[in-house]
Structure 1
């Protein structure tokens, strides 16, 4: 048999650019200590770039922080693509929407968002309103459609936030829940069953709002 040609070596991945290094180190430092406690000089030193690099790539510290916040939001948007497709059942749509909020992988962006939820900065609130708000509006419109409403009312908006909050609470308080009742999630390490159950509850709550709206 003819000898096989030698496998071509896989070229090494290119090193991260100065811009990417700045983003990675800013995410890490902001997550560990908060945006106000970290200086631009510290970020540049950690990234191995000159002190003017932040101004060159992002304009200023706030511009860097906006981009740090935008990246995980863009990933969330990617994960939620198609959740409100009219061809999906209500249960599947809710499941797809809440699933990304169930998990805390311990990454720097998870630490950063948890810190900001406790003491939100103006840049964070601006980013959330601009980037995340439209996702929740889409979710509320989806719930309203299944509740027989042309537009979401206050109760539907509250329900949209409440379903997300229930999912997010599992990621934020998982250690506490495991300490109180370690048996509850012992057979559900990836929270797939929990996600399904939360979607069950969501469907029941939408039906409640549908009946209440129809009786008026």
Structure 2
């Protein structure tokens, strides 16, 4: 690290630079195609820095994957508060999945969903799975069920998938029907509509449970 960078209290640390450069490189080319030497070179640190801060390349990748999950957890804070209506809870849960800020993390997660690595699947099971379980329990509670059924779990995943699909396929949707989202650039109206559909589907599952 240069003397100038060390003297600047706002300069990113070597650890932060490693995370930033690793995120960019992994998103562009995938975990297997990037070497630790490349990452260290891009971050301007010595080749042993990854071992010092993360143990190995796998440890670095786990931390790279963990950061956007932590951000998601913060965005979803309180979505299942019992004081909220079902509609508001669904809207709060789906909103983060509708917004793509162009960050490398979104590109990285999309790459992993196409060809998931063992590290990614472990991170998803540990950090993301519990979030979806909370969402399923919320839907079950409003459907009058003590515990989520398989159908409720599928509904939870289906609602998130619909929201996420707007982000992933937005260019295609704009090409097919540019007028659909012309007045909804941040997809706030779309999120409200998805919450409407979610409420209707929860009501359907409730009625189906009462009258199989």
Per the normalisation by structure 1, the TM-score is: 0.94
Corresponding residue for residue 158 of structure 2: 162
Q: Which residue of 34, 55, 58 maps to 1:59?
A: 55
Q: Distance in 2 between matches of 1:205 and 1:13?
A: 52
Q: Distance in 1 between matches of 2:118 and 2:107?
A: 18
Number of paired residues?
A: 205
State the Cα distance separating 1:14 from its structure 2 match. 1.4
CA distance in 2, matches of 1:204, 1:31: 37
**Residue in 2 aligned with 1:4?**
none
Which SS does the other structure have where 2:32 is aligned? helix
Q: Does 1:142 align with 2:138?
A: yes
How big is the shift at 1:214?
A: 1.2
Task: Tell me the secondary structure at the aligned position of residue 101 of structure 1.
Answer: helix
**Alignment match, 1:93:** 89
Q: SS in structure 1 opposite 2:65?
A: helix
Matched, 1:191 2:181: no
Residue from 38, 48, 64 that aligns with 2:44: 48
- Partner in structure 2 of residue 20 of structure 1: 16
Matches within 5 A, 1:100-139: 100-139=96-135
Work out whether 1:175 is the aligned partner of 2:171.
Answer: yes
* Matching residue within 24, 29, 35 for 2:31: 35
Specify every segment of 5 or more residues in structure 1 that has no aligned partner in the other structure, as ranges. Answer: 1-11
Q: Distance in 1 between matches of 2:203 and 2:54?
A: 47
Runs of 4+ residues deviating >4 angstroms: none
CA distance in 1, matches of 2:107, 2:160: 18
Q: 2:24 & 2:200 partners in 1: Cα distance? A: 40
Larger radius of gyration: 1
Give the counterpart of 2:65 among 69, 73, 76. Answer: 69
- Coordinate RMSD, CA, aligned: 0.8
- Matches of 1:123 and 1:144, distance apart in 2: 31
Cα offset for 1:13? 5.6
CA distance in 2, matches of 1:174, 1:86: 33
